[in-house]
Amino acid sequence: MLGVIGGSGFYSFFGSDARTINLDTPYGVPSAPVTVGTVGEHEVAFLPRHGVKHEYSPHTVPYRANMWALRALGVRRIFGPCAVGSLTAELGPGAMVVPDQLVDRTRGRSDTYFDSGGIHVGFADPYCPSLRAAAAGLPDVVDGGTMVVIQGPRFSTRAESRWFASQGFTLVNMTGYPEAVLARELEMCYASIALVTDLDAGIEAGSGVTTVDVFAEFERNMVPFKKLVHEALEAVEVERTCTHCLAHDGVKLPFELP
């Protein structure tokens, strides 16, 4: 089974014929019930990251519950569509990007399942190369970029934005971490697909980023963005062959993965 975790404005993926599954986990309930449908040859589970009515801000999303629930359901490969700001004028609103690196600037988020046992997870390349290839190979998709994940829920100051850009980061987001590392701990393939909704505050003069503008831009691009996610799912091989995301090969874990 493949998985899709929808971001801001991306609260549904299937029609009324999809089945709904309510799940609980050792880390609480996920953001919303999971809906399961079919895309091409794949059975696909969809979970809205922020809840069906955007009940969760980026710093309050139950990330551990979300990823655990999808793994328990049988998901092993996940796309994480999300809204991002751009830190370069070359990537304007409407651009769709498959990042290849991330930088964590969050704080206080529960970002591991291994609170005991001395387990360490390789994360040098945080995204699954197989899933990245499936999405990045589609027309009009930008392949590569570094996404810096900030704590939120506030947007960056102009100084912070210029600082991020000076480091060579290209995208800024609030939810890409710890989602990606939790997937790696659960040995699930994971790749982000980012929709640029705005140029960040330090990149262009003006009033800065506003929630209204971000959601309006996401809504304008929702149809082509969902189409892109559908096409990425269809491009994924039926059989999982990736070994890059099997982080615990040869390691004895303190508990069994779901």
Annotated binding site for substrate, which residues? 174, 198-200
Residue 185 dihedral angles phi and psi, to the nearest 5°: -65, -30
Q: Hey, what amino acid is at 78?
A: I
Angle CA(238)–CA(33)–CA(147) in degrees, nearest 5?
Answer: 65
Considering the candidates 17, 198, 213, 249, report the single residue annotated as catalytic. Answer: 198
SS3 240: coil
- The phi, psi pair for 4, rounded to 5°, reads -135, 130
CA dist., res. 35 & res. 13, Å (int): 8
Binding residues: 8, 49-50, 174-175, 198-200
103-113 burial: b if 16+ Cβ within 10 Å, else e: bbbbeebebeb
Among the listed residues 24, 140, 143, 200, the single catalytic one is: 200
| 198 has catalytic annotation | yes
Neighbouring residues of 237: CB distance < 8 A, sequence distance ≥ 6: 130, 134
Q: Is residue 115 annotated as a catalytic residue, yes or no?
A: no
> Which residues does the annotation mark as catalytic?
198, 200
